[in-house]
Amino acid sequence: AQKITQTQPGMFVQEKEAVTLDCTYDTSDQSYGLFWYKQPSSGEMIFLIYQGSYDEQNATEGRYSLNFQKARKSANLVISASQLGDSAMYFCAMREPPFTSGTYKYIFGTGTRLKVLA
Amino acid sequence: NAGVTQTPKFQVLKTGQSMTLQCAQDMNHEYMSWYRQDPGMGLRLIHYSVGAGITDQGEVPNGYNVSRSTTEDFPLRLLSAAPSQTSVYFCASSSDRGGQETQYFGPGTRLLVL
């Protein structure tokens, strides 16, 4: 069964430093998508970054980058130059491919709570 | 575009009561999903739909019903509320256009069952 694992319940980082949030996944599919979402204290889910399983380069979006290591089945989120506004819950998610399962479901990890210190 | 909207934002129910959580999207997305979020457990899929008239169960469907009569709307019904259904409920929609299409989430409904 497909599974997403986030082993860090909580992380601290000093403002302006970089931080890596870990995510490992388990799937037998060759085609899949990996996502990171941010959930601030206000509760909304904010899409951050996407990595396709066939993408050869690591995805980047501004201060966010995804360290994709396919053989190790890991998709770590790197936040550079942390800001106080980055304090939030971060979720890693994987999307099943619709053309193999006939479904279109996302599986989420349990999340990592990041606190940025001034 | 309003995106994904959910009503109500907050609801208190007594055990045994029924209610419907509303979800609507104006992006013409085929796929819609309902999740519940509980502390330490991430988001768990309750039900999902791949188009009008087509629904299926997710990971935790018991105690919930859904229907999809239109592309836009995907209501979630609690048949007989239980304290274990106290949670935050998110509706999401997405489109199978390939590439990096992601889910778009509603603002959530916070439900308390006494």
- pLDDT bucket at A97, cuts 50 / 70 / 90: low
Q: What is the pLDDT of residue A113?
A: 96
Could you tell me which chain B residue has the CA closest to the CA of A34? B100
Give the distance from residue A80's alpha carbon to the nearest chain B alpha carbon, in angstroms: 22
Q: At residue B75, does pLDDT exceed 90?
A: yes
Q: At residue B11, does pLDDT exceed 90?
A: yes
Q: What is the mean pLDDT of chain A?
A: 91
- pLDDT bucket at B59, cuts 50 / 70 / 90: confident
Q: What is the mean pLDDT of chain B?
A: 91
Q: Which residues of B touch A98 (CB under 8 A)?
A: 50, 96
Q: What is the pLDDT of residues B76-112, one digit of tens each?
A: 999 999 999 999 999 999 876 655 667 889 999 999 9
Could you tell me which chain B residue has the CA closest to the CA of A10? B40
Of A37, A93, A110, nearest to B40 by CB-CB distance is A110
- pLDDT bucket at A102, cuts 50 / 70 / 90: low
The Cα A33–Cα B100 span in angstroms is 8
Decide the pairing of beta strands A112-117 and A10-14.
parallel
Q: What is the pLDDT of residues A27-64, one digit of tens each?
A: 888 888 899 999 999 999 999 999 988 888 999 999 99
- pLDDT bucket at B42, cuts 50 / 70 / 90: confident
Q: What is the pLDDT of residue A104?
A: 65
- pLDDT bucket at A106, cuts 50 / 70 / 90: confident
DSSP per-residue letters across chain B: ---EEEE-SEEEE-TT--EEEEEEESS--SEEEEEEE-TTS-EEEEEEEEETTEEEE-SS-TTEEE--SSSSB--EEESS--GGG-EEEEEEEE---STT---EE---EEEEE-
CB A61 within 8 A of CB A113: no
A64 near B CB under 8 A: no
- pLDDT bucket at A112, cuts 50 / 70 / 90: very high
Task: Kindly determine whether residue B48 and residue A50, on different chains, have CB atoms separated by under 8 Å.
Answer: no
Q: Which residues of A touch B58 (CB under 8 A)?
A: 105
The Cα A45–Cα A76 span in angstroms is 18
